[in-house]
Structure 1
Amino acid sequence: MEKFDWKFTIRVNIMILKIAGLWPKGTEIYKFNCYTLYSIFSLNVFINIHNFFQAVNIVFVYTDLETIATLIFMIMTELLSSFKVYCFVRNIATLKKLMVKLDKKIFQPRNDQQRDLIRPNLNSWKYIYVVFWIPVITTLVLLAIYPIMDGSVKEYRLPLSAWYPYNTKTSPSYEITYCYQIVSVWFLAITNLNMDMFSAALMMYIGTQCDILCDDLRNLSTSADGEYAKKLLDCIQHHKTIVKFATQSNNFFSDVALGQFFATTVSLALAMFELTLVAPFSSECYSLLFYAFSMTVENFLYCWFGNEVELKVSLMISF
Structure 2
Amino acid sequence: MEENLIMQQLDVQDFVKLNIKCIQFFGYFCPEYDTIFKKICYYIYAVLFVGFFYILCMLSQLANMIAVFGDIEKMTETSFLLLTNIVQALKLYSFMVYGSRVRQLIRSMNRKEFKPKNWKQFNMLMNGVDDSIRLPLSGWYPFSTNTTPIFEFIYIYQIVATLVNGLGNISMDTFLSGTIMAISEQLNILNNSFQIMKQEFEREVKKIQQAQTEVRQSLICNIIHYKYIIQFADEMTSLFTTCIMGQFVVSVIIICMTMFQMSLVSVLSLQFLSMLLYQVCILLEIFLWCYYGNEVILESNKLTESAYMSEWINCSKDFRSNLLTFMIRSQFPLKLYAGGYFALSLDTFMA
Tell me the TM-score normalised to structure 1 length: 0.84
Establish whether residue 230 from structure 1 lines up as the match of residue 217 from structure 2.
Answer: yes
Which residue is 1:118 aligned to?
125
Matched, 1:88 2:88: no
In the alignment, structure 1 residue 279 sits paired with structure 2 residue 255: no
Equivalent residue number for residue 49 of structure 2: 42
The reply on whether 1:205 has 2:182 as its aligned counterpart is yes
Q: Is the 8 A contact 2:90 2:242 kept in 1?
A: no
Q: 1:258 to 1:160 in 2, by over 3 A?
A: same
**Which piece of structure 1 moves more, 58-67 or 195-204?**
58-67
The one-letter code of the counterpart of 1:24 is: C
Offset from partner CA, 1:52-102 (integer Å, 9 cap, x none): 111111222124332111112331112112222222222221221122112
1:18 pairs with one of 16, 20, 24: 24
In structure 1, what is the equivalent of residue 349 of structure 2? none
Any conservation in 2 of the 1:48–1:82 contact (CA below 8 Å)?
no
Question: What is the alpha-carbon distance in structure 2 between the residues aligned to residue 173 and residue 199 of structure 1?
Answer: 39
Between 269-278 and 165-174, the greater mean CA deviation after superposition: 165-174
User: Do the aligned partners of residues 29 and 107 (structure 1) sit closer, same or farther apart at CA in structure 2, a change above 3 Å counting?
Assistant: farther
Match of residue 234 from structure 2: 247
Task: Give the helix-richer structure, 1 or 2.
Answer: 1
> What is residue 314 of structure 2 aligned with on the other side?
none
Decide which of 96, 108, 117 is 2:115's aligned counterpart.
108
Q: Within 2, Cα distance between the matches of 1:112 and 1:267?
A: 45
- Contact preservation (8 Å) 2:26, 2:46: yes
The answer to whether the 8 Å contact 1:74/1:267 transfers is no
Name the CA distance, whole Å, in 2 between partners of 1:33 and 1:52.
26
Matched residue, 2:287 = 300
Structure 2: how far apart are the matches of 1:178 and 1:65? 25
| Aligned mates of 2:150, 2:244 — CA distance in 1 | 38
Q: In the alignment, what sits opposite 2:65? A: 58
Residues 289 and 28 (structure 1), Cα distance of their counterparts in 2 relative to 1, 3 Å cut: farther
SS where residue 47 of structure 2 aligns?
Answer: helix
2:193 pairs with 216, 227, 230, which one? 216
2:170 aligns to what?
193
Matched residue type, 1:221 = K
CA offsets per residue over residues 212-250 of structure 1, 9 Å max, x none? 212221122223112122111111211111111111111
Say whether the 8 Å CA contact 1:200–1:301 is kept in structure 2: yes
TM-score, normalisation: structure 2: 0.77
Aligned-pair identity (%): 29
Equivalent residue letter for 2:273: Y
1:168 offset after TM fit, Å?
1.5
| Contact 2:61 2:140 (8 Å CA) reproduced | yes
The amino acid that maps onto 2:107 is V
Offset from partner CA, 1:10-69 (integer Å, 9 cap, x none): 333222222212343357799842112111211121111111111111222124332111
> Whose radius of gyration is greater, 1 or 2?
2
Equivalent residue for 2:81?
74
The number of residue pairs the alignment matches comes to 289
In 1, Cα distance between equivalents of 2:268 and 2:97: 42
Distance 1:99 1:118 in 2: 16
CA distance 1:16–1:64, shift in 2 (3 Å): same
Measure the CA separation in 2 of the matches of 1:82 and 1:161.
20
Q: CA deviation at 1:106?
A: 1.7
Q: Is the Cα contact below 8 Å between 1:213 and 1:238 reproduced in 2?
A: yes
Residue 278 of structure 1 deviates from its aligned partner by 2.5
**CA drift at 1:267:** 0.6
In 2, the alpha carbon distance for the partners of 1:32 and 1:297 equals 35
Query: After alignment, is 101-110 or 259-268 more displaced?
Result: 101-110
- Name the structure 1 match of 2:326: none
Give structure 2 stretches of 5+ with no counterpart: 202-210, 308-351
Instruction: In structure 1, give the amino acid aligned to 2:123.
Output: D
